Every structure is written in structure tokens, then in C-alpha cells.
Amino acid sequence: MKAILISLSTAVALAGSAVHVGAQDQAAYIDDRSDGPALVRSLYNAINRHEYARAYSYFSDPVDSYETFVKGYEKTVDLQVLIGSVTQEGAAGSIYAPVPVAIKSTEKGGNEKIFAGCYITRIVNAAIQEPPFAPLHIESAELEKVAGPLEKALPKICHSPS
């Protein structure tokens, strides 16, 4: 899979397709749990649209309270996300997808920060689940502030938990 770039004002798949959203418009609604990269793309789509409850719901066990999660984005006006290559791995009835990301956060006033790391997404084999069904979710996230530029910050690989 090629890297994917997502932004509030422009959503670009570097594999060739591009969608432009005018600055006065919000990004189109994306809620896709079909695989790890789609889930991470949906997470940042929700954040860019200020739909924090939806973004928060993608985590199986959020580290922060909802209020702390929302406060973390109060100065953010735009997020651009690069998503790297993902290889799914099976373990003990679950499918894990480690998703490498690089993120450029633009704050009010124009201050930019670059973060890089990995999201680990997980789904329990649907054939062995009983109600209520638990969809693909973000199991964990490890991101840290790094030097840019965004395109050079993307980790080459992420690993599933052992």
C-alpha cells in the first residue's frame, strides 16, 4: 500500500487519486473500519471535522478521558496525515494491523508540529464473536514529536504487540 495524505483542506491519496475540498468546506465524512489504514484515516477525518465523540469511539480503551482528548485538539486547525505500508498479522483469534503514521498539526496562529509513530488496530475474528459485535478498533497508539518534514517523518515499519 502506498502512503496516504489526509488534510482538512485537501485529501490526497498519493497512489494517484485526489479529492480537493475548498477551504470554506469541511472534509467529506469518512467512517471506514474495513482495515487499519482506513480506520486511522477515519480517526483524523473525525478530528478535522471536530467530531470528537466519533474520533474517541475508534479507541478500544482510550488512555485519556474524553474531556482531555478534546482539550488536546483545542488549538488545532488542520491535520495532515501520512499513512505508510501495513501488513496484517494474526494472533490468538485476533487480526492486528500496525499502522505507521506521520502527522503535521497546524495550530491557530500557524504553529506547526510533526509527530510520528504507530497505531495498532485490532479486530477479534468476527466468526467467534458473540453480541455485542466489536468492530475494528485502535488498540494502542505511540506517537512522539519529531523533526520534519512530514514526508521524512513516516516510520518505515510498525510491529504488532508480542
Q: pLDDT, tens digit, for every residue of 104-141?
A: 999 999 999 999 999 999 999 888 889 989 999 999 99
How far apart CA 29 and CA 37 sit, in angstroms, is 16
97 dihedral zone (left: phi>0; alpha: psi -120 to 50; beta): beta
Instruction: Calculate ∠ Cα 73-75-77, nearest 5°.
Output: 85
- Which domains does the chain possess? 4-153 (3.10.450.50)
Q: pLDDT, tens digit, for every residue of 21-64?
A: 223 345 789 999 999 999 999 999 999 999 999 999 999 999 89
How far apart CA 35 and CA 136 sit, in angstroms, is 7
How far apart CA 148 and CA 106 sit, in angstroms, is 13
Q: Which of 73, 99, 45, 81 has its CA nearest to residue 153?
A: 81
